[in-house]
Amino acid sequence: MSNWNAGYMAEVAYTYGYYEELNPLRLRLPLLAAGLVLPANGTACELGFGQGVSANFHAAASATRWYGNDFNPAQAAYAQELASAAGAGAQFTDESFEQFCRRDDLPDFDFICLHGIWSWISAENRALIVDFLQRKLKVGGVAYLSYNTQPGWAAMMPMRDLLTEHSRVMGAPGQGVLARIDGAIDFVDRMIATKPRYLEANPLLADRFEKLKSFERHYVAHEYFNADWQPMAFSQVAAMLSEAKLEFAASATYTEHVDMLNLTAEHQQFLAEIPDPIFRETTRAFLINQQFRRDYWIKGARTLTPFAQATALRAVRVMLAVPRDTVVLSVHGVLGDADMDERVYAPVLDALADHRVHTIGELEQQLAGTEASLAALLQIMLILISKGSVYAVQDEADIAVAQPQTARLNAYLLEQALARSDLYSLASPMTGGGVFVPHLQQLFLWAKMQGWQEPQDWVRETWPVLIRLKQLLSKDGQPLLTEEENLAELWEHARHFAERTLPVLRALGVAD
């Protein structure tokens, strides 16, 4: 019997998270910041899609044709279920990488993405993926990869090996993987209490292990307990992808495009003296002790002229995705939290406060005479989008295609919210992807979908669902124990949702 999971964790299901970096619309600003020609957006593929949440959101919320593969049949079945609900024509299979990557009936792709796969699969599967990228990514197309990287993982690697070795050697026969994980964590916890010299030499590991202990165990299983687990230096990944004719284009982490958030002046000067871009990125990882990368790679990078770059930037469409007065003027980088200059950001946020779509060019004209030059607006948008305060918006034609598809998918997800609370996003035809909508707000939207339009009606319809799911509310960090307390708090949430959140969700096309 073949080992269909090829050493990858299949005993427990992957989480149901949404990953915005897999949205093709999101790559525009980083590539334009790098001065590169943008790819087309007709076809896309996700390798190792997990539960298929991201791929389905991006298929439903755009005009792009999506394909995907994940060898876990249970996960592929759920992805197909979502695809059927949306009716966007997305195609998802449960083949191995070898089977999928060697199919001769797939189109060539403008965008191929992998999230949380590259570091957790065998060398043989990585070679298959490189060959797939070489053959099936169009000239000018973009690939997205996220992966564990050196040097940030260097000290943790022996501890990870100890955890997995304990699970393999000390786990009881027939014991489930989650129990084995708990046993391994308890063992390492007791070892740390003996003050081993390895932790004396690596004092930051104790805090890192404490964070690991707090993580949801399904996440820990997929992050740490696969048979293959290989953090790689940036230069090593670049060398492998060069075989597919891919060049590094830009980081998909928006704040990495703002050096002052991550690098001291001395760091910036040191990197500026390195002419080779691959070696510069490899060195940069040491300066910030990077442990995870999210990168865009391009097949056939072409440089825009300054005029073409400026024209393309001015055409980028954006909208404010939160109430104006909730935007905190602070952003986090490697160097810690940094204040955002109110003189620079306040006029931009005020211009976007109507939650309508604006182009960067329109903002430039409206804010003429302020510090919001085109170059400044690029950095402002990178930071505001990284915070989730602003979204890029797709073209009107794509919005029109997406609207009925996202409406169908969201209606299906809202029905699912009656029985589960582990899906935290809904699809937006404006953004081409998902937006964060917590479970309680999903229940309010479900009640509204049933025809109930007033907050008091949402409370009445939602409370029995919360009781059935055993989800009591809390206030000021304390659980509310009585029905009266819960209903009072639920009313406050419903009123706030109606007055503050619902208008934004309407602007995003998530609610009618």
Domain ranges of the chain: 20-151+230-255+289-299, 157-224, 312-393, 437-507
**What CA–CA distance (Å, rounded) separates 106 from 310?**
36
Neighbouring C-beta atoms of residue 140, cutoff 10 Å? 16
Please determine, for residue 363, whether its predicted confidence score (pLDDT) is greater than 80.
yes
- In which band, very low, low, confident or very high, does the pLDDT at 3 lie, cut at 50, 70 and 90? low
The predicted-structure confidence for 366-403, as pLDDT tens digits, reads as follows: 999 888 899 999 999 999 999 999 999 999 999 999 99
Cα of first residue to Cα of last residue in the chain, in angstroms, is 51
Spell out the residues 6+ positions from residue 391 whose beta carbon is closer than 8 angstroms to its own: 318, 319, 321, 385, 428, 430, 431, 435, 508
Which residue type occupies 241?
L
The predicted-structure confidence for 215-271, as pLDDT tens digits, reads as follows: 888 778 777 787 778 899 999 999 999 999 999 999 999 999 999 999 999 999 999
CA 259 to chain centre: 22
* Nearest alpha-carbon partner for 371 in 354, 346, 388: 346
3-state helix, strand and coil shares in percent for the chain, rounded to the nearest 5: 50, 15, 35
Average pLDDT over residues 402-428: 97
Cis amide bond preceding 203, omega within 30: no
Which residue type occupies 472?
L
Average of per-residue pLDDT values in the chain: 93
Ranges 2-11, 289-298, 370-379: which has the least confidence: 2-11
On whether the CB atoms of residues 296 and 31 are closer than 8 A, the answer is yes
**What CA–CA distance (Å, rounded) separates 332 from 470?**
35
φ/ψ region of 38 (left if φ > 0, alpha if ψ in -120 to 50, else beta) reads: beta
What is residue 224's predicted lDDT score, i.e. its pLDDT? Answer: 79
Tell me the three state secondary structure of residue 338. strand
**What CA–CA distance (Å, rounded) separates 452 from 229?**
50
CA dihedral 361, 366, 370, 373 (to 10 degrees): 0
Environment class of 265 (CB within 10 Å of its CB; exposed 0-12, middle 13-18, buried 19+): exposed
**What CA–CA distance (Å, rounded) separates 276 from 472?**
56
Please determine, for residue 2, whether its predicted confidence score (pLDDT) is greater than 60.
no
Token code pair at residue 220: 């820990």
The predicted-structure confidence for 129-176, as pLDDT tens digits, reads as follows: 999 999 999 999 999 999 999 998 888 888 888 888 898 888 777 778
Tell me the three state secondary structure of residue 333. strand
**What CA–CA distance (Å, rounded) separates 330 from 68?**
37
Which residue type occupies 251?
S
- Nearest 5°: phi and psi at 339? -75, 140
**What CA–CA distance (Å, rounded) separates 302 from 36?**
6
241-50-55 Cα angle (round to 5)? 80
- What is the fold, at CATH topology level, of the domain defined by 20-151+230-255+289-299? Rossmann fold (3.40.50)
**What CA–CA distance (Å, rounded) separates 130 from 159?**
30
Please determine, for residue 75, whether its predicted confidence score (pLDDT) is greater than 50.
yes
> Model pTM?
0.90
Spell out the residues 6+ positions from residue 25 whose beta carbon is closer than 8 angstroms to its own: 41, 62, 392, 394, 431, 432, 433
Share of the chain above pLDDT 90, in %: 79
Q: What is the 3-state secondary structure (H, E, C) of 219-267?
A: HHHHHHCCCCCCCECHHHHHHHHHCCCEEEEEECCHHHHCHHHCCCHHH
In 334-479, DSSP assigns E strands to 336-339, 358-359, 390-393, 425-428, 433-436, 474-475, 478-479
User: What are the helix (H) ranges across 28-72?
Assistant: 28-33, 53-60
Token code pair at residue 358: 């604006």
CA-to-CA dists, residue 1 to 4, 5, 69, 439, 490, angstroms: 9, 12, 21, 41, 53
Please determine, for residue 195, whether its predicted confidence score (pLDDT) is greater than 60.
yes
164-167-170 Cα angle (round to 5)? 130
Spell out the residues 6+ positions from residue 218 whose beta carbon is closer than 8 angstroms to its own: 12, 13, 14, 15, 178
